[in-house]
Amino acid sequence: MEEQVVGAFRISDREFNQLSKLIYDLFGIVLTEKKKTLVIGRLQSELKKKGLKSFHDYYEHILEDKTGQSLLTLIDKISTNHTFFFREADHFEFFKEEALSQITSILRSRNEKELRIWCAGCSSGEEPYTLKMLLNEYFSNDNGWSVKLLSTDISSTALEKAITGIYKNENIQNIPKPLLNKYFKKYDDQNWIVKEELKKNMFFKRLNLMQNDYPFNKKFHIIFCRNVMIYFDSETRTDLVNRFARFMIPDGFLFIGHSETIGRNNNNFLYLKPALYRKKA
Ligand SMILES: C[S@@+](CC[C@H](N)C(=O)[O-])C[C@H]1O[C@@H](n2cnc3c(N)ncnc32)[C@H](O)[C@@H]1O
């Protein structure tokens, strides 16, 4: 049996398997053997804080905690929230140059003026704020539209940061200056904050993509779920993509991460270009 030791803590194969099964069953995230050191590194402060001696005790503690708080902390620590403004920039080009004009013309032809976008796995907000800046610019001369942007994530810490909208100087570098000056203001020497105007019609909610059902009454026109499915196995990815299809209008656009694929022969989606799909009509 192999045991991994980091600092004062060690994790046996059995303990690792228990914990990784729990994380897979509840959140879809696959933790391979290689992630043992990462698991200890990310969770050891939690064991110390709770005065727990082993990962077995930690596992038991999570199961016994009926408030669900320990699970929230677990997923907060395990999920990787890395993100940045204008990440995978060609997507945003396509979004403003193609996707918005195509979707709005479909809606116009039906006399509809409500556009619904879902950013699933939004992490700390850089992705949805990028989208919202582009949306505000796109619709700046057309007030008749109601544009709603829902952003969801499993991590409460990431969501809190997104809602607060404060970002370090070094993290706003990718934002073009005119957009930065229009939609952000200096918070202090080290940080910038999103202006309230940009937050209008943005909704942040905690949502586990693995939960049985999603609480949406209306379908989305565009879904972004980028760099989230890399943590899932192919079965979970296929399930999730089929669910996205159910919550999307025909001809809607699905953006996924550039290192992800859902295959070119998907029943529900047409492949447009790398990491970009369109729901079949
Ligand atoms: C690497 S970040 C990607 C952020 C952003 N979409 C981007 O591309 O920059 C992955 C996000 O997926 C979230 N996530 C992982 N598993 C999830 C699940 N089961 N339900 C909802 N969100 C999940 C994580 O909390 C994390 O914030």
Residue 37: give its domain's CATH number.
1.10.155.10
92 CA from centroid of ligand 1 (Å): 18
State if residue 138 touches ligand 1 by the CB under 6 angstroms criterion.
no
**266 CA → ligand 1 middle, Å:** 23
pLDDT at residue 143, rounded to an integer: 74
In angstroms, the CA 57 to CA 9 distance is 12
Residue 2: predicted pLDDT: 64
pLDDT at 74: 97
Say yes or no: 188 and 51 in one domain: no
**104 and 16 in a common domain:** no
Establish whether residue 208 lines the binding site of ligand 1, counting it when its CB lies within 6 angstroms of any ligand atom.
yes
Sign of the dihedral defined by the CA atoms of residues 164, 168, 173, 178, in that order: positive
The answer to whether the CB of 154 is under 6 A from ligand 1 is: yes
CB-based contact 134:92 (threshold 8 Å): yes
Examine the domain organization and report whether 69 and 155 are in the same domain.
no
**How many A from CA of 232 to the centre of ligand 1?**
11
Q: Please give the single-letter amino acid code of residue 30.
A: V
Q: Are residues 118 and 51 in the same domain?
A: no
**Is 141 strand, coil or helix?**
coil
Nearest to 43 by CA among 79, 82, 77, 8: 77
Can you give the pLDDT of all 281 residues of the chain as single tens digits?
567 776 678 999 999 999 999 999 999 999 999 999 999 999 999 999 999 999 999 999 999 999 999 999 999 999 999 999 999 999 999 999 999 999 999 999 999 999 999 999 999 999 999 999 999 999 998 879 999 999 999 999 999 999 999 999 999 999 999 999 999 999 999 999 999 999 999 999 999 999 999 999 999 999 999 999 999 999 999 999 999 999 999 999 999 999 998 877 888 999 999 999 999 99
**Which residue's C-alpha comes closest to atom 19 of ligand 1?**
27
Q: Is residue 83 part of a domain?
A: no
Residue minimizing CA distance to atom 9 of ligand 1: 83
CATH of residue 186's domain is: 3.40.50.150
Distances (CA, A) of 172 to 120, 168, 184: 22, 7, 9
pTM: 0.96
CB 231 within 8 A of CB 30: yes
Task: Name the domain count of the chain.
Answer: 2
The residues that are catalytic are 42, 153
Task: Indicate whether 73 and 142 sit together in one domain.
Answer: no
Q: Give how far Cα 103 sits from Cα of 46, 88, 136, 197, 210, Å.
A: 46, 21, 16, 24, 28
Ligand 1 atom nearest to CA at 257: 8
- Mutation choice for ligand 1 from 80, 208, 228, 240, CB with most ligand atoms inside 8 A: 228
Q: Is 84 within a domain?
A: no
Phi-psi region of 227 (alpha: psi -120 to 50; beta: other; left: phi over 0): left
| pLDDT recorded at residue 3 | 72
Q: Which domain holds residue 170?
A: 89-279
How close is the Cα of 80 to the center of ligand 1, in Å?
7
> In this structure, are 118 and 161 located in the same domain?
yes
Judge whether 124 and 81 are in contact, CB under 8 Å.
yes
> What is the predicted pLDDT for the residue at 6?
66
236 C-beta closer than 6 A to ligand 1? no
Distance CA 69, CA 48 (A): 16
